[in-house]
Amino acid sequence: MNAAVRRRGAGSALSVLLGVLIALFGLIFIVGGADLAWLGGSWYYLICGVVLLASGALIVAGRVAGAWLFLLAWAATLLWTMWETSADTDWWGWLPRLFGPTLIAIAVLLVMPALRRRDTVRPLGAA
Amino acid sequence: MRKLHLLAATLLCGTLPATGLHAQVASHSENIPGTGNPTSDGTDKYDTATPQKFRAPAPGAPQAPGVNAANLPPIGEIDPATLPAMVPQLSANPAAGDWVAYGRDDSQNRYSPLTQITPENVGKLERAFIYHTGSKPAPGQTNKWAAETTPIKVGRKLFMCSATNDIMALDATNGQQLWRFDAGVKYASIPYTAACKGVVYYTSSTVPEGQHCHTRIVESTLDMRLISVDSEDGKPCEGFGFNGQVNLMQGMGESVPGFVSMTSPPPIVNGVVVINQEVLDGQRRWAPSGVIRGYDAETGKFAWAWDVNNPDDHHQPADGKFYSRGTPNSWATMTGDNELGLVYVPTGNSAADYYSALRTDKENAVSSSIVAIDVKTGSPRWVFQTVHKDVWDYDIGSQPTKLDYKGSNGETVPALLVPTKRGQTFVLDRRTGQPVADYPVEEKPAPSPGVVPGDPRAPTQPWSTAFPRLGFPDLKESDMWGMSPIDQLFCRIKYRRAAYVGEFTPPHIDRPWIEYPGYNGGSDWGSMAYDPTTGVVIANWNNTPMYDQLVTRKQADKLGLMPIDDPNFKPGGGGAEGAGAMADTPYGIVVTPFWDQFTNMMCNKPPYGMIEAIDIHTKKVLWQHPIGTARANGPWGLPTFLPIQIGTPNNGGPIITAGGLVFVAAATDNQIRAIDIKTGKVVWSDVLPGGGQATPMTYEVDGKQYLAIMAGGHHFMMTPVSDQLVVYKLPG
């Protein structure tokens, strides 16, 4: 096994790990978000949680669509943040909403090549 | 611009800058019981036959050993009408270089006319000396320390007290100790906090100049003694009480050490030392009395008492009798008024802060108020109430400041500036207690009657609508915060699970309620500074909501909440600012910061502490900034070392100098800073050896201006404890 193959193997493993992490976040969002929505609060977490769970599952399955789904969720979160903190006079509201998700988005971008490779070796529907 | 800067700094730094959030931690906070808490069925009228795990000692029961700490004999009475006229005191008109009273002079405005240190040269400040008071927790002792001390300065000497009441005189130029009076306060006598905010300088009206105790240092102690020593040699004044001491627990009825204490300098008004006392919050409805008393500053003899529920009897209780129990206690620093013959008493709540059904009408009329008491008789002349039927611990912690207020109608009124924990600031006519015309007070509807059976809330509460509010708008779900979306989600759920309808949300039993502003303020004991030459008010304040819940007696017993005088009480098992038994009532109280208990970060977004300048004539905010950096604070209480002005919780007041500066420490970043009063910019700061939870002071000797701050730390604010007084001056 040469070095390039080992790297590819590591990239795949990392993408699986990342997918599991995103799915886990999705689950927490769904459970907590359902509670919050039930209490009359924001629906963001429940909806975002469903998207994250799907995204994580797709990434674990080696599908590039999972990465795109996460980036879509990130972009939607950015818009939601701008809307929800529009009355604020400072930027503190951006920290909880975007800091962690941005770190994950960067990780998603980094594993994108590995995902692409995995996606091409597995035909559609054969995951 | 600041907005962008903050965000950039936030995102660039790998560590997540949280804040002094953990500062609001009660050291043994219980978890909020939550929605599972059994609610009342509305029928549980409290009666003394209700089975309760612990029985209250009879109020007339003998005081526990150590309550009369120095075993002093009973003090006799003197007719206040026969007191000699008081000679003029230095605090009426201090020399420019002196700081004679807690708030510098009789007006208590924390303004010094010194000009040597300016915004231009303040950056060159260096340490002149450090003095160690020697008072800090011994190994094995729970840290209850928060010295909170502001020294006073007369001539060439500094006079101060240690956190445990030893009195010291220092050479103001080098910190050399000239004498020390050992007060002998025992650890058991420390109530919630070992603090001594200051001592009082008094010139005798009867002892001639040149004789012992012509000039005196007076203090009141944690173990309820009034002490008077000579300012030259620190030896007790023989003509005062018993060897210079008076036992202030006389007539207080049943008590244990640490239940009742004094942490504020007692004002001397027309020769009367006025005594208030802190009664430990949250213990029992029938706690020792909040009685206010006057003593002869010359002899220490008892002059009068103002006992809320017994207002016509101004004498000491006969043997076996005691001052009425559970009445509103006053622990803040009072302000005297020799011209009007009044003392302005900032009152707190009746005992059992969060349940009001057992309070008398007389108590309800004077709690969380300024009560102006005539020092010749002990009778109130007027009362101004800042919260009606307070069940939020919104007692007044700030010392009121006297000022001559020139109104827009051209008339100058002797006025009183009254900061509150609510962040409402009242400006009253000192002669009548009525709001001055420019600062009307409006009664606005408040949430009522609430949900606690038989304990309806007041239908309205007073608002000082013209004075800029020290506070932010009501909390929204989108104000919830945290390091990650998960923290934020957690806090949003907490927010939605609690009862919250804005300020004065009534206490709840079946679920928690959010108290905002929290009981730490607004403005707490640090009080405000006022520049009489420009009319500028400087105020630092807190933005720290609380998450509270009443618990049934059964649940309180299960949580182990018991009052301090219960034989089974464990020190540290529930304190003044955490959960409380509120024995003798149907409920206990659980109080926590409104925070994420897993990260110890507050649930609301920063800032948590602010400082601002207000022009009292134009009613405009001149500037407003967060106070305190994230350098010493972060998630799980870890320091982030980030110089971001996140705004931390703060305790301790500001001072103003004619040199154009505001000096303030207070924040949980353990720094003292100088702020340019014109711009609000921090122009100098220095890291202290302990938390700067004290009000600084400034003075001059031999043409050099000094700046002093007690870096004693604060156990509740979780800042490092130290015994160091740090003094600065310019080089050369």
Sequence-distant (6+) residues with CB within 8 A of B686 are B125, B671, B672, B673, B728
Option in A28, A41, A42 nearest B486 (CB): A28
Once rounded to an integer, what is the mean pLDDT over residues B37-65? 58
Mean pLDDT of chain A: 91
Dihedral angle at the C-alpha atoms of A42, A48, A49, A50, nearest 10 degrees? 120
Question: In terms of C-beta density within 10 A (0-12 exposed, 13-18 middle, 19 or more buried), how is residue B631 classed?
Answer: buried
The pLDDT tens digits of the residues spanning B509-522 come to: 999 999 999 998 79
Q: Do B485 and A95 touch (CB under 8 A)?
A: no
pLDDT band (50, 70, 90) for residue B633: confident
Distance between CA atoms of B486 and B478, rounded to whole angstroms?
14
Option in A41, A91, A100 nearest B485 (CB): A100
State the pLDDT at residue B52.
Answer: 46
Sequence-distant (6+) residues with CB within 8 A of B476 are none
Distance between CA atoms of B238 and B300, rounded to whole angstroms?
10
pLDDT band (50, 70, 90) for residue B352: very high
Rounded to a whole number of angstroms, the distance from the CA of A13 to the nearest CA of chain B is 25
Rounded to a whole number of angstroms, the distance from the CA of B425 to the nearest CA of chain A is 24
Once rounded to an integer, what is the mean pLDDT over residues B206-223? 98
Rounded to a whole number of angstroms, the distance from the CA of B720 to the nearest CA of chain A is 27
pLDDT band (50, 70, 90) for residue B42: very low
Pairing of strands B302-306, B126-132: unpaired
Lowest-confidence region among B172-176, B310-314, B574-578? B574-578
Once rounded to an integer, what is the mean pLDDT over residues B472-486? 96
State the pLDDT at residue B32.
Answer: 64
State the pLDDT at residue B475.
Answer: 97
Mean pLDDT of chain B: 91
Would you tell me which residues 4-63 of chain B have a C-beta closer than 8 angstroms to some C-beta of chain A? 4, 6-7, 10-11, 16
The complex's ipTM works out to 0.92
Fold of B26-77+99-109+137-617: Methanol Dehydrogenase; Chain A (2.140.10)
Q: Do B489 and A95 touch (CB under 8 A)?
A: no
The pLDDT tens digits of the residues spanning B367-423 come to: 999 999 999 999 999 999 999 999 999 999 999 999 999 999 999 999 999 999 999
Strand, coil or helix: what is B488?
Answer: helix
pLDDT band (50, 70, 90) for residue B38: very low
| Residues of B with catalytic roles | 393
In a domain, A127, yes or no: no
Reply yes or no on whether the pLDDT at B46 is more than 70.
Answer: no
Once rounded to an integer, what is the mean pLDDT over residues B235-255? 97
Strand, coil or helix: what is B556?
Answer: helix
pLDDT band (50, 70, 90) for residue B33: low
In a domain, A7, yes or no: no
In a domain, A125, yes or no: no
Q: Which residues of A touch B6 (CB under 8 A)?
A: 90-92
Q: Do A91 and B484 touch (CB under 8 A)?
A: no
Give the phi and the psi of residue A19 in degrees, each rounded to 5.
-60, -40
In a domain, A20, yes or no: yes
Q: Which residues of B touch A21 (CB under 8 A)?
A: none
Q: Which residues of B touch A94 (CB under 8 A)?
A: 7, 10
Rounded to a whole number of angstroms, the distance from the CA of A112 to the nearest CA of chain B is 23
Reply yes or no on whether the pLDDT at B48 is more than 80.
Answer: no
Distance between CA atoms of A95 and A75, rounded to whole angstroms?
15
Interface residues on A facing B, Cβ-Cβ cutoff 8 A? 25, 28-29, 32-33, 35-36, 39-42, 45, 84-85, 89-97, 99-102
CB B727 within 8 A of CB B175: yes
State whether residue B496 sits within 8 Å of chain A by CB. Answer: yes
State the pLDDT at residue B383.
Answer: 98
Answer left, alpha or beta for residue B290, where phi above 0 means left and psi between -120 and 50 means alpha: alpha
State whether residue B608 sits within 8 Å of chain A by CB. Answer: no
Residue B279 to residues B228, B282, B348, Cα–Cα distance (Å): 23, 9, 10
The pLDDT tens digits of the residues spanning A19-55 come to: 999 999 999 999 999 999 999 999 999 999 999 999 9
Q: Do B489 and A28 touch (CB under 8 A)?
A: yes
Q: Which of A92, A94, A97, A106 to mutate to test the interface with B (most CBs of B within 10 A)?
A: A92
Stated length of chain B: 732
Answer left, alpha or beta for residue B196, where phi above 0 means left and psi between -120 and 50 means alpha: beta
In a domain, A8, yes or no: no
Q: Which of B6, B12, B16, B478 to mutate to test the interface with A (most CBs of A within 10 A)?
A: B478
Sequence-distant (6+) residues with CB within 8 A of B193 are B144, B145, B146, B148, B263, B714, B715, B716
State whether residue B501 sits within 8 Å of chain A by CB. Answer: no
Option in B3, B477, B486 nearest A90 (CB): B3
Strand locations in B490-635, DSSP E? 513-515, 529-531, 536-542, 546-552, 587-593, 595-596, 601-602, 609-615, 620-626
Q: Which residue has the tokens 């924390």?
A: B110
Once rounded to an integer, what is the mean pLDDT over residues B568-590? 76
The domain spans of chain B are 26-77+99-109+137-617
Chain A with chain B: Cβ pairs closer than 8 A: 79
The pLDDT tens digits of the residues spanning B288-329 come to: 999 999 999 999 999 999 999 999 999 999 988 999 999 999
Once rounded to an integer, what is the mean pLDDT over residues B439-458? 97
Question: H/E/C letters for each residue in B214-230?
Answer: CEEEEEECCCCEEEEEE
State the pLDDT at residue B560.
Answer: 87
- Name the nearest CA neighbour of B133 among B729, B710, B575, B717: B710
CB B86 within 8 A of CB B204: no
Sequence-distant (6+) residues with CB within 8 A of B47 are none
Distance between CA atoms of B702 and B725, rounded to whole angstroms?
21
State the pLDDT at residue B645.
Answer: 87
Lowest-confidence region among A101-110, B13-22, B224-233, B543-552? B13-22
Reply yes or no on whether the pLDDT at A127 is more than 70.
Answer: no
State the pLDDT at residue A122.
Answer: 56
Q: Do B478 and A93 touch (CB under 8 A)?
A: yes
Q: For residues B559 and B158, which has the higher predicted lDDT (pLDDT)?
A: B158
Q: Which residues of A touch B2 (CB under 8 A)?
A: 90
Reply yes or no on whether the pLDDT at B28 is more than 50.
Answer: no
Residue A39's closest chain B neighbor by CA? B496
pLDDT band (50, 70, 90) for residue B436: very high
Strand, coil or helix: what is B14?
Answer: coil
Residue B388 to residues B12, B31, B368, B460, B706, Cα–Cα distance (Å): 48, 29, 8, 8, 43
The pLDDT tens digits of the residues spanning B662-679 come to: 999 999 999 999 999 999
Q: Which residues of A touch B605 (CB under 8 A)?
A: 92-93
Q: Do A90 and B496 touch (CB under 8 A)?
A: no
State the pLDDT at residue A123.
Answer: 53
Kindly report the number of other CB atoms within 10 A of residue B329's CB atom: 25
In a domain, A6, yes or no: no
Once rounded to an integer, what is the mean pLDDT over residues B549-570? 88
Option in B3, B488, B490 nearest A97 (CB): B488
* DSSP sequence for B314-325: -SPPPTT--SPT
Would you tell me which residues 578-607 of chain B have a C-beta closer than 8 angstroms to some C-beta of chain A? 605-606
What is the number of domains present in chain A?
1
pLDDT over 70, % of chain B: 91
- Name the nearest CA neighbour of B2 among A88, A90, A95: A90
Domain encompassing residue A56: 13-120
Distance between CA atoms of B602 and B647, rounded to whole angstroms?
12
Residue B23 DSSP code? G
Reply yes or no on whether the pLDDT at B30 is more than 50.
Answer: no
CB B253 within 8 A of CB B319: no
State the pLDDT at residue B55.
Answer: 65
Rounded to a whole number of angstroms, the distance from the CA of A126 to the nearest CA of chain B is 34
Q: Which residues of A touch B478 (CB under 8 A)?
A: 42, 84-85, 93
pLDDT band (50, 70, 90) for residue B51: very low
Distance between CA atoms of B312 and B305, rounded to whole angstroms?
10
| Tokens matching residue B56 | 């209250």
pLDDT over 90, % of chain A: 78
pLDDT band (50, 70, 90) for residue A78: very high
Dihedral angle at the C-alpha atoms of B333, B339, B342, B347, nearest 10 degrees? -30
Once rounded to an integer, what is the mean pLDDT over residues B337-355? 97
Residue B113 to residues B105, B268, B527, Cα–Cα distance (Å): 12, 24, 19
In a domain, A74, yes or no: yes
Q: Do B490 and A32 touch (CB under 8 A)?
A: yes
